Amino acid sequence: MAFLKLRNSELNPRYDGIATEYMRFGELHGIRWDFAFFQMVVETGSLSYWRGTRSGDVRPEQLNFAGLGATGNGERGESFKDIETGVRAHIEHILLYAGRPVDNPAAERTRKVRDWGLLTPWRQAFKRPITFADLAAKWAGNRSYANMLQAVAERFHSDACRGPDPRPGLVQEARRLMAKDAGAKKTAEVTPPRSPGEELAQRAIEQAKVEGNDKRSGLGAAPEPAPSSTPYKVLNTPPLPDKQIPSTVLSAKAAGLDAKTGTEPKGALGEKSGSRTALAGVVASKAKGLPETAAPPAANQKCRVWTASYGGQKSIIIRSVADQVVNFTVLDVNAGLEAREADAFISAYAKNGTIAGEYANQAQALDKAFELCPEG
């Protein structure tokens, strides 16, 4: 919770117990609930929901922390009655990916995916435990989603995780709820009983120390038994979709960025994957020539500055107009893929937008963006 509040200084008090619920349901089902929590951070913008600035996203009142059923084209997805149910639905959907669906899931989306067998061929292609990286590739349909989860995890482990627990009472509350759950009717499972979630998580962490940090993101559940029939052949991954999802789409002001320097103080929203490329394996194309300047808005026009990221080190400014407001989006892009990522972003988030400048880093781009739009 301390980590979440660092990323969202305006966190609604209603979410005070959300980490407790992730621990409760994660350990109940043997799921790596820390990475489920990080996925919630990515999906909801650290529960800011981008302050309502991204069209088509789930609304805060839906308490849908993983975008379940939000399939695009205005479909907002499912709504849940309380935070407990919303978290339970998220964990149960991850459990479905791990091959251990529950009989009576909280989300209708989970029920449909289970009943239609949509994940069965995909799961049977694995002869090892399914990881969050595997889940990410299937969940979002693009390679950058796994990098987003890993970037949040790395930030947590290098920051909040290193300090003392400021509120140990939350863990005690989770233990109390887990004891209550243990006394209730056991959730039906399709495979034999597992070890407790805490033991599984510790085992995964110890394995990570041996194999490297990139292996610490296993879901936690045991793999589905291998099918008796001829195993599926793992094919090459399909080409990256034209419309990729950037890791953050945030108002610079909401993100706590300094309007003059464009730097990100401790606790600002958003996450970048450093030198990691979100498009590994994609053949890089030569970037198109980009203009170096952009015109400021007219005297009577309002403007806003935003940030978004595909995980690269370079930045470009995209100028677009929506509802008579001029938007300057500083988009972090990967070297050699500037034009492709800009086109994908414009197509998805900045209709009729234009590339207005290319810069060596985000700070330079933000400096220019705030020069064009001082009100930010």
Specify the residue for token string 């045991």.
222
Judge contact between 217 and 32, C-beta under 8 A. yes
Distances in whole angstroms, Cα of residue 26 to Cα of each of 184, 278, 352: 16, 28, 43
- Residue 86: pLDDT above 90? yes
pLDDT at 294: 63
Distances in whole angstroms, Cα of residue 12 to Cα of each of 23, 51, 63, 75, 91: 20, 12, 12, 25, 22
* CA separation for the pair 116, 93 (Å, rounded): 14
Q: What percent of the chain has pLDDT over 70?
A: 67
245-293: pLDDT as tens digits: 444 444 344 333 343 333 333 222 223 322 222 222 222 222 333 344 5
Q: Which two tokens stand for residue 175?
A: 């233990």
Q: Domain map of the chain by residue range?
A: 2-215, 249-372
Specify the residue for token string 């301390």.
2
Split at pLDDT 50, 70, 90, the class of 372 is confident
- Residue 326: pLDDT above 60? yes
- Average pLDDT across the chain, whole number: 73
- Residue 119: pLDDT above 60? yes
Alpha-carbon Rg for the chain, nearest whole angstrom, is 21
- Residue 94: pLDDT above 90? yes
Dihedral sign of CA atoms 44, 279, 161, 32 in order: positive
Q: Which two tokens stand for residue 40?
A: 């919630």
